[in-house]
């Protein structure tokens, strides 16, 4: 929903970005946004005389206005394309606001000048406390898009922070339509939507309290899938977003909050169980704003080290920011980081036992400095993420099966069942070990008892609940003669046991009537709606639903009539009427 009315006209770019973040899928279910229950507070941009998009007013004031209106994260698909690599006044303003408002988080697109090579992440995405988002070609085990802005910043910091799909993103545009756009602008709202879901998860796990944005950024970065060069790099940042692992960190409470003063030393114990394939530990802190164009933008410098039960010490990953292509493309090595306000240590095949994380306040002129420790303990298990239960798929359409797993020890086998697991058919027994998705053509069957199973070696996982496979109803007619009486009819669907009709309510497509036949009557008790949308889906049972059709817009054709009394009586039933 929108809680204000900005003066600027609705643009295709803005509408597309907004739909990816919080579109509710009313017209087209497949285009639902990532955080569909969110409320939006918009601010205005304009074109200056040179045709360059710019903000109206202070960036700090805009953030304050959003904060005062209840917003707790900002999604921005706008950057100064001529400020690649710079820590400028906008970067400083954003860092200043986030330093002072620790429960607010800001997400910025990295810019589309990546084909120019290094130092092409644009301000204010160069700020230390924001999440800078690069664009990738796909959401699973992706590669960075060639246009996506690249780091480092001029002072050698890692940017972008994280990547998300920014190529051929399907979302809303003007006039209740949809289109496919490409750019880091399309990736940024994807990350914002994930953060919206993570904020909600944290609140549900913590008595409705809002989380620290420092914690949420650490969770997001440390749970990302490492792609490109091993460890962080200047093209992919800390990797590709992995919302499943992020929410599991919150559910498992794998995080600490602490503070440290100048020259202080803190330790934290982390228990690593047997069977762990990898441990990932990150320390993150919102840093005080720096002077513009500072040679080193980092103000408060913390250093970390992870010690194994055997006494071996591991330093965090660092990159060579020497300004030439060869050095910038080198794989990360372990060392002391004096540039970034996040540091990460990873260990593959760690020995079980108690690990000690040491945090040192190497230089903290503005202390004490709050920081968060986030750790992810990764095993060899497999988790199927889609379809995982409750979905409605359409025979003959392509669906992307997705799962999460660590490492590449062997190929995957994918199977499906149409009878709740009584029997299984093979989709593929040779899915490449590096993949975490598979394009599946849905079989031509009608069932409410479908399951997917993915396996590798001794590990497997299947859908947590059944999903449905059934065709979309065709020839759906909305015969709206009077404002308070609507008659629907459609062609039958093979194998369906019923149908459900939805109408757009205040926020969502709400179910209004169901039928076991091929027609239904609805008495509209609130005929004052000026924009009415309807859709239909087939049912395998009341709780096992097929996909919804694309919604149609229909208005009353005769405003001077009312439904007769007999129609009002029959409307109380969900059975069809003729």
The answer to whether the peptide bond before residue 368 is cis (omega within 30 degrees of 0) is yes
Query: In sequence order, which residues have a C-beta less than 8 Å from that of residue 564 and are 6 or more positions away?
Result: none
Q: What is the DSSP letter of 126?
A: T
pLDDT at 576: 29
| DSSP secondary structure letters along 224-286 | SBP-SSSS-BTTTBT-B--HHHHHHHHHTT-EEEEEE-TT-EEEEEEEE-TTEEEEEEEEE-P
Q: Which of 76-85, 225-234, 432-441, 470-479 has the lowest mean pLDDT?
A: 76-85
Task: Give residue for tokens 């230390």.
Answer: 128
Which of 26-30, 53-57, 141-145 shows the highest mean pLDDT? 26-30
pLDDT band at 393 (very low <50, low <70, confident <90, very high): very high
Bridge partners, residue 446, by sequence: none
pLDDT at 66: 87
Instruction: Give the integer Cα–Cα distance in Å for 480 and 486.
Output: 5
The closest alpha carbon to 490, from 470, 515, 518, belongs to 518
Query: In sequence order, which residues have a C-beta less than 8 Å from that of residue 543 and are 6 or more positions away?
Result: none
Q: How many CB atoms lie within 10 A of CB 437?
A: 16
Burial class (CB in 10 A: 0-12, 13-18, 19+), 262: middle
Instruction: Give the integer Cα–Cα distance in Å for 431 and 530.
Output: 50
Q: Does the pLDDT of residue 326 top 50, yes or no?
A: yes
* Higher pLDDT pick, 62 / 267: 267
pLDDT band at 45 (very low <50, low <70, confident <90, very high): low
User: Kind of pairing, strands 105-109 and 131-136?
Assistant: parallel
How far is residue 188 from each of residues 9, 161, 283, 336, measured CA to CA in Å? Answer: 21, 11, 23, 30
Ramachandran angles phi, psi of 134, nearest 5°: -95, 160
Q: How many CB atoms lie within 10 A of CB 548?
A: 22
Instruction: Give the integer Cα–Cα distance in Å for 372 and 492.
Output: 57
For 465-520, the pLDDT digits (tens) are 999 999 999 999 999 888 888 999 999 999 999 999 999 988 889 999 999 999 99
Instruction: Give the integer Cα–Cα distance in Å for 191 and 392.
Output: 25
**Helix boundaries (H) for 498-545:** none
Q: What is the DSSP letter of 122?
A: B
Task: Give residue for tokens 């429960």.
Answer: 103
* Higher pLDDT pick, 557 / 380: 380
pLDDT band at 303 (very low <50, low <70, confident <90, very high): very high
pLDDT at 41: 79
Q: Quote the Cα angle for 139-145-148, to 5°.
A: 110
Instruction: Give the integer Cα–Cα distance in Å for 337 and 97.
Output: 25
For 7-29, the pLDDT digits (tens) are 444 568 888 999 999 998 889 98
Query: In sequence order, which residues have a C-beta less than 8 Å from that of residue 68 and are 6 or more positions away?
Result: none
pLDDT at 569: 35
| DSSP secondary structure letters along 41-84 | ----EEE-TTS-EEESS-HHHHHHHHHHTT--EEEE----TT-B
**Two structure tokens written together for 158:** 């890692």
The closest alpha carbon to 174, from 67, 17, 49, 298, belongs to 17
Q: How far is CA 371 from the centre of its chain?
A: 24
Percent of the chain, pLDDT > 70?
Answer: 91
Task: Give residue for tokens 């395998």.
Answer: 540
pLDDT at 575: 31
**Two structure tokens written together for 10:** 């609705």
Query: Would you say 33 and 25 are in contact if contact means Cβ atoms under 8 Å apart?
Result: yes
Instruction: Give the integer Cα–Cα distance in Å for 249 and 258.
Output: 17
Rounded mean pLDDT, 159-186: 93
- Name the average pLDDT for the chain: 91
**Which bin fits 38, alpha (ψ -120 to 50), beta or left (φ > 0)?**
beta
- Tell me the three state secondary structure of residue 565: helix
pLDDT at 58: 81
Q: Which of 80-89, 138-147, 537-546 has the lowest mean pLDDT?
A: 138-147
Assessment of whether the complete model's pTM goes beyond 0.85: yes
Ramachandran angles phi, psi of 92, nearest 5°: -65, -45
pLDDT at 291: 97
**Helix boundaries (H) for 137-211:** 184-205
Q: Does the pLDDT of residue 568 top 90, yes or no?
A: no
User: Kind of pairing, strands 301-307 and 353-363?
Assistant: antiparallel
Ramachandran angles phi, psi of 221, nearest 5°: -75, -40
């Amino acid at each position: 929903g929108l809680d204000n009315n900005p003066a600027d006209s609705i643009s295709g770019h803005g509408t597309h970005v907004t739909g990816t973040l919080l579109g509710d899928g009313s017209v087209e279910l497949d285009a639902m946004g990532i955080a569909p229950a969110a409320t939006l507070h918009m601010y205005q941009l304009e074109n200056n005389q040179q045709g360059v998009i710019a903000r109206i007013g202070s960036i700090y004031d805009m953030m304050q206005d959003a904060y005062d209106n209840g917003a707790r994260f900002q999604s921005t698909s706008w950057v100064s394309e001529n400020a690649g690599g710079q820590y400028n006044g906008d970067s400083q303003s954003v860092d200043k606001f986030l330093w002072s408002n620790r429960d607010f988080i800001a997400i910025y697109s990295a810019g589309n000048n990546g084909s120019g090579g290094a130092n092409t992440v644009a301000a204010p995405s160069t700020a230390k406390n924001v999440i800078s988002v690069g664009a990738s070609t796909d959401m699973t085990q992706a590669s960075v898009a060639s246009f996506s802005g690249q780091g480092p910043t001029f002072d050698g910091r890692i940017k972008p922070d994280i990547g998300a799909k920014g190529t051929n993103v399907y979302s809303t545009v003007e006039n209740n339509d949809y289109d496919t756009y490409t750019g880091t602008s399309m990736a940024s709202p994807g990350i914002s939507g994930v953060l919206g879901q993570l904020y909600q998860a944290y609140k549900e796990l913590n008595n409705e309290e809002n989380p620290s944005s420092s914690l949420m950024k650490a969770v997001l970065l440390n749970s990302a899938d490492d792609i490109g060069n091993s460890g962080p790099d200047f093209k992919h940042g800390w990797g590709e977003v992995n919302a499943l692992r992020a929410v599991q960190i919150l559910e498992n409470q794998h995080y600490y909050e602490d503070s440290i003063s100048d020259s202080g030393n803190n330790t934290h114990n982390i228990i690593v169980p047997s069977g762990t394939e990898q441990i990932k530990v990150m320390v993150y802190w919102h840093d005080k704003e720096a002077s513009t164009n500072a040679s080193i933008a980092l103000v408060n410098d913390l250093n970390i080290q992870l010690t194994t039960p055997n006494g071996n010490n591991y330093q965090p990953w660092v990159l060579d920011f020497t300004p030439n292509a060869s050095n910038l493309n080198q794989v990360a090595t372990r060392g002391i980081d004096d540039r970034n306000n996040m540091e990460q240590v990873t260990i593959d095949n760690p020995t079980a036992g108690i690990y000690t994380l040491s945090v040192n306040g190497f230089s903290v002129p503005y202390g004490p400095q709050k920081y968060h420790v986030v750790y992810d303990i990764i095993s060899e298990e497999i988790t199927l993420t889609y379809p995982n239960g409750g979905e409605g798929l359409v025979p003959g359409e392509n669906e992307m099966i997705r799962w999460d797993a660590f490492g590449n020890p062997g190929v995957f086998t994918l199977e499906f069942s149409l009878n709740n697991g009584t029997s299984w058919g093979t989709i593929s027994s040779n899915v490449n070990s590096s993949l975490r998705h598979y394009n599946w053509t849905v079989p031509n069957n009608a069932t409410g008892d479908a399951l997917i199973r993915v396996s590798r070696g001794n590990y497997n996982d299947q859908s947590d609940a059944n999903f449905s496979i059934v065709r979309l109803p065709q020839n759906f007619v909305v015969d709206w003669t009077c404002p308070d009486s609507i008659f629907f009819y459609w062609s039958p669907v093979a194998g369906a046991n019923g149908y459900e009709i939805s109408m757009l309510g205040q926020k969502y497509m709400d179910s209004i009537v169901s039928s076991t036949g091929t027609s239904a009557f609805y008495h509209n008790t609130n005929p004052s709606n000026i924009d009415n949308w309807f859709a239909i889906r087939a049912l395998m049972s009341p709780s096992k639903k097929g996909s919804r059709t694309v919604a149609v817009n229909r208005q009353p054709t005769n405003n001077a009539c009312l439904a007769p009394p007999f129609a009002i009586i029959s409307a109380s039933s969900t059975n069809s009427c003729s």
